């Protein structure tokens, strides 16, 4: 694999260089911001983008190239396309009468080898069946044991469920879904699944998945925002990832949709804590405006009239600080023009998330972004939130890397987080 590192001012510059040096099949392996030059205490060096790109040697020798659109997508999203390894090259030599005699014993050997392989195939097929049956048996026993443990450790005197539903009830609760919600789901499922189907674990699991998919709402990112100009404001407590997510959404809009994007940050405290966003704006190559009240915000939005997307980042705001909340409400309490997104971390405990949503809910909230899924192991809280507040989820973020660690929130993905469908 060829690895190459570039220090550039923005991602477009990197893409051009990578395409030129490594070709269209290259993939971006990582991006990070680094300081160039030492400056005072290393603080004031120029911040540049360091992009590492790679080209797989196999791709270099692959006989057929993917169509250009796929190759471009591979660069844009840093993902590998499905590759078919090149067929092995078998040298061809013409035979002559002279070496016919040499070939005869060789042919005999090949015939013997074929017979041995056939025999092995028959044996391994039987062996394979045996192993699968053994595994099935063990899985059944484990499920039974799990049920025993579960029913002994937790008493649900009033909850009489068939084994499969009880296991899934426990799984959802273990995944953080509130007991009363989990209970509602399994009882509803019990009413609607036949006795026979209840014996089939996969059937019951898929049935529950479908029910959960009906409960949760998603927005398809910011694609469904009605006005042709999409204005998205990210609000929420400090440290949840608003600024990082703003940069990721800008990159998504530029790279995937080729839209013209501008950034605004609302710095009501006038502490000019905007260096992080300024650095991102530079790397992504979008204009940035810093505003401190509604009048300035309106002016900035008007100045970007010919832009397709405006992403508005906000400074940290504690839901308990009434003055800050008041200022924020003054700016964002407006229906229609702005798509207000409440950014919440998947690592925050339910009770705090509820308090945050209630306080920020004094402004119109159009969707929710859950960040830091990579740092959480219990995703039930996303469902608890969806059931309690009925707000749709727009994006999920899964790491610190800009731009790659963001994905559109889909119902399938959210349900999978809770029920592990894809891993079963």
Q: Kindly identify the residues of this chain, within the stretch 313-342, that bind Mg ion according to CB under 5 A.
A: none
Q: Using CA atoms, how far apart are residues 363 and 328, in angstroms rounded to an integer? A: 9
Binding site partner of 374, from Mg ion, ligand GDP, none, Cβ cut-off 5-8 A by kind: ligand GDP
The long-range contacts involving 193-199, CB below 8 angstroms and separated by at least 24 positions, are 198/162, 198/164, 198/165, 199/162, 199/164
Nearest CB to ligand GDP, comparing residues 164 and 371: 371
Cβ pair 303, 28 in contact under 8 A: no
Report the nearest approach of Mg ion to the CB of residue 243 (Å): 3
When the beta carbons of 374 and 416 are compared against ligand GDP, the nearer one is 374
* 3-class DSSP state of 339: strand
From the list Mg ion, ligand GDP, none, pick the one residue 400 interacts with, judged by a Cβ distance below 5 to 8 Å according to partner type. ligand GDP
Pair type for strands 2-8 and 261-266 = unpaired
* Binding at 107: pick from Mg ion, ligand GDP, none (beta carbon under 5-8 Å per type): none
229 versus 324: smaller Cβ distance to ligand GDP: 324
User: Among ligand GDP, Mg ion, none, what does residue 382 contact (CB within 5–8 Å per kind)?
Assistant: none
Distance of CA 281 to the CA centre of its chain: 22
How far is it, in rounded angstroms, from Cα 344 to Cα 385? 10
Which residue, 170 or 314, has its beta carbon nearer to ligand GDP?
314
Report the residue number whose CB is nearest to Mg ion.
243
CB of 370 to ligand GDP, least distance (A): 9
210 Cβ contact partners less than 8 Å away, ≥ 6 residues apart: none
CB of 353 to Mg ion, least distance (A): 19
DSSP-derived letter for residue 85 is P
Starting at the edge strand found earlier in the chain, the sheet holding 309-314 runs: 288-291, 261-266, 309-314, 230-235, 339-345, 367-371, 393-397, 406-408
- In whole angstroms, the minimum distance from the beta carbon of 419 to ligand GDP comes to 22
Instruction: Pick between residue 367 and residue 371 the one whose CB is nearest to ligand GDP.
Output: 371
Q: Kindly state the smallest distance separating residue 272's Cβ from Mg ion, in Å.
A: 13
Task: Look at residue 52 and give the partner it binds from ligand GDP, Mg ion, none, a contact being a CB closer than 5 to 8 Å depending on partner kind.
Answer: none
Q: 328 and 268 in contact (C-beta within 8 Å)?
A: yes
Q: How far is Cα of residue 301 from the mean position of the Cα atoms in its chain?
A: 30
CB of 70 or CB of 400, closer to ligand GDP:
400
**DSSP line for 201-259:** HHHHHHHHHHHHHHH--B-TTTTT-SSSSEEEEEE-STTSSHHHHHHHHHHHHHHHH--
CA distance 189 to 215: 14
397 binds Mg ion (CB under 5 A): no
Q: Are 311 and 287 in contact (CB under 8 A)?
A: no
Tell me the C-alpha distance between 30 and 52, whole Å.
Answer: 5
Closest CB 248 distance from ligand GDP, rounded Å: 8
CB contact at 8 A, 380 and 179: no
Give the residue with the Cβ less far from ligand GDP, 9 or 33. Answer: 33
**Minimum CB distance to Mg ion, residue 249 (Å):** 13
Task: Name the minimum Å distance from CB 35 to Mg ion.
Answer: 19
Our CB check for Mg ion shows the closer of 253 and 371 to be: 371
Tokens representing residue 355 in the block: 């308090």
Segment 201 to 260, residues that bind Mg ion, using CB under 5 A: 242-243
* Nearer CB in complex with ligand GDP: 231/246: 246
Cβ distance to ligand GDP smaller for residue 170 or 251 = 251
Closest separation between CB of residue 131 and ligand GDP, Å? 39
Out of Mg ion, ligand GDP, none, what residue 205 binds, judged by CB under 5 to 8 A for its kind, is none
Selection from ligand GDP, Mg ion, none that 372 binds (CB < 5 to 8 A by kind) is ligand GDP
In this structure, what token pair is assigned to residue 5? Answer: 């590192």
- Partner from Mg ion, ligand GDP, none contacting 230, C-beta within 5 to 8 A by type: none
* Cβ at position 81, least distance to Mg ion in Å: 35
As a dihedral over the C-alpha atoms of residue 321, residue 327, residue 328, residue 333, rounded to 10 degrees, the angle is 130
d(CA 397, CA 237): 16
239 binds, among Mg ion, ligand GDP, none (CB under 5 to 8 A by kind): ligand GDP
Residues that bind ligand GDP (CB under 6 A): 238-244, 276, 316, 371-372, 374-375, 397-400, 405
Task: Report yes or no: 360 and 319 within 8 Å, Cβ to Cβ.
Answer: yes
Binding site for Mg ion (CB under 5 A): 242-243
């Amino acid at each position: 694999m060829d690895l190459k590192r570039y220090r550039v001012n923005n991602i477009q510059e990197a893409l051009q260089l990578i395409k030129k040096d490594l070709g269209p099949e290259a993939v971006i392996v990582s991006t990070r911001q680094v300081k160039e030059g030492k400056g005072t205490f290393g603080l004031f060096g120029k911040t540049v983008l360091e992009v590492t790109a790679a080209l797989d040697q196999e791709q270099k020798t692959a006989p057929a190239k993917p169509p250009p659109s796929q190759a471009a997508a591979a660069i844009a999203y840093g993902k590998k396309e499905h590759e078919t390894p090149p067929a092995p090259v078998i040298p061809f030599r013409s035979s002559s009468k002279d070496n016919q005699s040499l070939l005869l014993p060789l042919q005999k050997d090949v015939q013997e080898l074929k017979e041995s392989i056939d025999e092995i195939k028959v044996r391994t097929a039987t062996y394979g069946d045996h192993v699968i049956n053994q595994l099935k048996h063990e899985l059944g026993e484990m499920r039974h044991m799990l049920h025993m443990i579960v029913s002994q450790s937790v008493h649900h005197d009033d909850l009489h469920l068939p084994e499969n539903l009880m296991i899934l009830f426990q799984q959802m609760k273990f995944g953080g879904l509130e007991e009363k919600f989990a209970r509602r789901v399994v009882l509803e499922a019990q009413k609607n699944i036949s006795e026979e189907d209840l014996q089939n674990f996969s059937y019951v699991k898929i049935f529950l998945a479908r029910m959960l998919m009906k409960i949760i709402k998603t927005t398809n990112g910011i694609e469904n925002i009605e006005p042709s100009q999409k204005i998205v404001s990210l609000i929420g407590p400090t440290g949840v990832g608003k600024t990082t997510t703003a940069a990721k959404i800008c990159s998504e809009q530029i790279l995937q949709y080729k839209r013209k994007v501008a950034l605004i940050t609302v710095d009501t405290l006038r502490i000019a804590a905007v260096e992080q966003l300024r650095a991102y704006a530079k790397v992504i190559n979008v204009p940035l405006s810093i505003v401190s009240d509604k009048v300035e915000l309106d002016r900035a939005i008007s100045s970007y009239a010919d832009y397709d997307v405006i992403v508005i980042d906000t400074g940290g705001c504690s839901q308990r600080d009434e003055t800050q909340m008041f200022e924020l409400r003054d700016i964002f309490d407006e229906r229609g023009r702005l798509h207000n997104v409440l950014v919440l971390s998947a690592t925050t405990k339910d009770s705090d998330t509820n308090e945050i949503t209630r306080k920020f809910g004094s402004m119109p909230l159009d969707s929710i972004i859950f960040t830091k899924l990579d740092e959480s192991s219990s995703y039930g809280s996303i469902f608890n939130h969806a059931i309690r507040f009925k707000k749709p989820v727009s994006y999920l973020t899964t790491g610190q890397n800009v731009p790659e660690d963001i994905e559109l929130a889909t119902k399938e993905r959210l349900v999978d987080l809770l029920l592990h469908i894809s891993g079963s």
